[in-house]
A and B are shown apart, each in its own frame.
Chain A
Amino acid sequence: MLIKRAQEIRSSEITDEQQYHNRRQFIQQTSGGALGLVAGATMLSNSAAQLQAQEPIPNLQPSPFSTDEDLNSFEDITTYNNFYEFGLQKEDPSRYAHEMTIDPWSVRVEGEMNKPAADVPLEDILRPHTLEERIYRLRCVEAWSMVVPWVGFPLGDLIRRFEPTSNAKFVRFETLHRPEEMRGQRGRSLEWPYVEGLRMDEAMHPLAILAVGVYGKTLLNQQGAPLRLVVPWKYGFKSIKSIVKIQFVREQPLNSWNVAIPNEYGFYSNVNPEVDHPRWSQASERRIGSFFRIRTAMFNGYAEQVASLYEGMDLRRNY
């Protein structure tokens, strides 16, 4: 399928502040019951389309991997973001990410694979895949969490298309590096471009997806449009955003947070209430939008599906 994007935001699409606040009011009024949530989501997407072009995605397949927990509001998941490419504050991405151009977009796929290395246009990346709705828990290493209705397809399905060889032990991902459009990259909070990686068996796991949308529409830039990784059993920073490069490599790749603060962020970064981050507890978390803390579950509640990937590994050492 083809997801088209408006080239620029037309002035007619920009929401004036009054309308923006009405929208917030609307959420507060409707966030009561499940019915309100659904109605709210529909309304919200309409208003959000005025902020940034958002296309509805038709024919979404439901997934058995989806959780039935209460969804976080569209407002929550699009205004409370860590995307250091646009600044260090949670509200920075929603303020500045619209400065990033995402059309045209292509992904460089290269490395240990039988197919020749190529710059693959986004349309060609997406064309063969059936998009599903995957409602996942997202657990940030900062001890907060959300429930997000992603739209995407299994990463493994994409990987198979490029026929990685037996030398390909890891998959390495890179985010767009374009300081003129990504103001956070003009400073050196992290080393740019942002880099992440997965072991090949992790990448092939059916829970790992590439997401192109949320709430039934294409992603907003602050969420990592147009193509991002979602690995629900790992801390959020593993789920790299706005991907421009996928490489099949022999050695375990470095990942940005590990490079920045090696004793705090490892390569695996599996959600694990037993292994604390050196500076805050991982035993509990705050689900955004609710008052009481909840206990964090092993592998973010996906232990049944993924625990076998790490059998025999010392997860305290491989944090």
Chain B
Amino acid sequence: MSPTVQPPSSVMTLARRAKPWVFVACLLPLVLLMWDGFGGALSANPIEDITHRTGDWALRLLLLALAVTPLRRLTGVAALGSFRRMLGLFAFFYTLLHFSTYLVLDFFFAFDLIWDDIVERRYVTAGVAGFLMLVPLALTSTTKMIRRLGGARWRRLHRLAYVAAIAAVVHYLWLVKIDIGPPLLYAGCLAVLLGFRLWYRLVPQGLPRTVTSENTGPST
């Protein structure tokens, strides 16, 4: 496959223009959830709905963030890389909403029950572990932090995103009663995304290199 390479400047402009729209698109699930919530369109168990929908979007956005680098390498469009941070931060944002729903709406800070839940329920353990792994990644997502850590260390730290994504998929897989279809679909997507990275590492020369690495931040 030979990627069509646009002049970097125009692609970059396009990416800059698209960014606010992507931002708005990432907020849409939350807006729709609030719309349904205040409009009375949630089920008889609205807390469960909120938990499921924030969790779904956290996982979807995490997978989207992890799809950026493979897409960038496959297409050679470096400008794609500029969406990675936003997607990653939105993934964290929805994870935070998901976790807060659990902590506040579901258990209302009943820490004795929560502690039992985290320790004894393996799907909760996996979920909380995934959430905790995303915290340092969100905290070190600023350009300033990237510079302070240095590219190599930052990259190494941010490989935690792979582990967090695995934890998220396992969390989903372990919590369903019998309908393992959806979590398996996510597991398949994650396997492709991680498999690509492995393949890219093993046979790097077989692929078109990134056109320009300007403004894309360290690559993972």
Contact = CB atoms under 8 A, between A and B. Distances in A.
A142 B177 CA distance: 9
A28 to B, nearest CB: 6
B184 to A, nearest CB: 14
Contacts of B175: 279
Nearest to A141: B177
B43 A80 contact: yes
Interface in A61-106: 72-73, 75-77, 79-80, 84, 88, 90-91
B44 A293 contact: no
B32 interface: no
Interface stretch (B16-24, B109-117, B189-197, B212-220): B109-117
Contacts, number: 61
Interface stretch (B72-80, B118-126, B128-136, B148-156): B118-126
Given A88-B178, A190-B178, A281 B44 contact: no
B178 A261 contact: yes
A59 interface: no
Band of interface residues on B: 20 to 34
B45 interface: yes
Interface of chain A, helix or strand or loop or mixed? loop
B171 to A, nearest CB: 11
A237 B142 CA distance: 50
Nearest to A189: B178
Residue picked from A73, A75, A190, A284, most chain B C-beta under 10 Å: A284
A288 B44 contact: yes
A79 B43 contact: yes
A279 B110 contact: no
A206 B123 CA distance: 39
Interface string B80-121: 000000000000000000000000011110100100110011
B17 to A, nearest CB: 39
A284 B40 contact: no
A260 B176 CA distance: 13
B121 A291 contact: no
A80 B178 CA distance: 18
Nearest to B47: A286
A72 B107 CA distance: 21
A24 interface: yes
B121 A279 contact: yes
Interface residues of A, number: 32
A168 to B, nearest CB: 31
A119 interface: no
B179 A25 contact: no
Contacts of A28: 40
B162 interface: no
A293 B40 contact: no
Of B47, B120, B121, B178, the most chain A CB neighbours within 10 A belong to B178
Contact of A189 (B40, B44, B122, B179): B179
24 contacts: A25-B40, A77-B44, A79-B43, A79-B44, A84-B178, A90-B44, A91-B43, A142-B177, A144-B45, A276-B121, A279-B121, A279-B174, A279-B175, A280-B117, A280-B121, A281-B116, A284-B110, A284-B113, A286-B47, A286-B106, A288-B44, A288-B45, A291-B105, A293-B107
Closest A-B pairs by Cβ, 9 of them: A80-B44, A76-B44, A88-B179, A288-B44, A281-B117, A189-B178, A80-B43, A284-B113, A280-B121
Interface of B: 40, 43-45, 47-48, 105-108, 110, 113, 116-117, 120-123, 174-175, 177-179
Interface of A: 24-25, 28, 72-73, 75-77, 79-80, 84, 88, 90-91, 142, 144, 189-190, 260-261, 276, 279-281, 283-284, 286, 288-289, 291-293
Given A261-B177, A280-B117, 20 more contacts: A25-B40, A75-B44, A88-B179, A91-B43, A144-B45, A144-B48, A190-B178, A261-B178, A279-B121, A279-B122, A281-B120, A281-B121, A283-B113, A284-B113, A286-B45, A288-B45, A291-B105, A293-B107, A293-B110, A293-B113
